[in-house]
Structure 1
Amino acid sequence: MNKTIHFTYMSLILILFVLFIIGYIRQGDNKLTYEGLKKDSYNYHQIYSINLEQINTDNVTVSDTLSVLKENGENILVSEILNTGDKFVIRFNDAGCISCMQYFKKHIDYINMFISEVGAQNVICLLNSNNPRIIRSFKKQYCISCEVYGLSIGLLSPIMEVSDTVVAYYFCVLSKEYLMENCFINIQEISERTDAYFESIKRKFAVLDGKGD
């Protein structure tokens, strides 16, 4: 009789333990599912808001009297830069922001490789600075082969640069007609999106340079 009761108790304990384990696993799965859904939702809203900014910025006209600062301290009109053709623009908004610089540094090798493939003559970098020394230092530090100019924040895009949260950097194409085209904000977590964008820009400039199929 005692053996029977003992066996029954042990069986109940074993069953309860198994049920506990199953419940814990399910709880973990539910937590993972919830975290996954939350992350997907965040990415969706991030992509939606960024795409909206990009769409609203496309085909915005840049003034032909807009001037930028050269690394030697002289000013030059954007119209003079665009005389030689469309330019791919790397717009960096804050050289004094440590976190922004770290974020940019993660992608600089990829960006420099892109510049070499498209051609440095087709690319310019617009840095949020009115100090020639900072412009020279920025170019040297990141080994940027294209021209780097200074342009205060808010002067290029009234949408991208006048908001509660200014993105660390973004890309666009300035056309000979002074239009901002192909505006793009990088999302670090979705590298495939950035890769596809750069490939499309390469094709664009291959056609413009007469190298396309």
Structure 2
Amino acid sequence: MSNMLKVSRPKTLKESALESLRDAITSEVFKPGERLVERTLCESMGVSRTVVRECIRHLESERLVIGVANAGFAVATISEDEVKEIYEIRTMLECSAVQACAEKADKAVVAELRNLRKEIAQCLKKEDVIEGLKLTTEFYHLIFTTGGKYVAWDLVERLNARISRLRALTLSTAERRTKGPENLNSMIDAIENNDSELAREICIRHLTEAAEIAYQLN
């Protein structure tokens, strides 16, 4: 039913430019610490300087971009302490949501989760990490809303840009591109069986494994 109610609308020029620049930072086309030169961005994206500035300001609010004194803006770095804290917050919020989802999910939710997991795995197999990340966000949004964790999802959304950067980092390893979808499949099995404790345990393991890779690579 949820898919039937979705209505697509054309993206504005700013929305398209923002998504393009965010994806470029997430996939490290622009590296942490690299300066963002407005003129170069205008030329490469085919948009005005006003649009570029609006995009940069938006990404600054997402903590993907930082202002540099007398040098404009640069791609933000994520410190070791920030990585640790982000995974701590994710573990607290996501595992609670997965547990609640397992208690409430019906067959339709399970079917949609399986479909999303399949699409995620296909994207990662093709090394299309950016599309895989967007599908992963849909996957977790369904889990949070099914579990009734709307406030928690609001908090996750505020971190989502940095979460996606760390996910992209961990998915740079072939092992994680395989193991990640396997963990999601096990999580769905537990949700389907309404085994909330097992679903939570799998979620903890999934995030612990990802965190270890992120610590090594960041």
Q: Give the structure-1-normalised TM-score.
A: 0.26
Structure possessing the higher radius of gyration over alpha carbons: 1
Query: Which one has a larger percent helix, Structure 1 or Structure 2?
Result: 2
Q: Give the structure-2-normalised TM-score.
A: 0.26
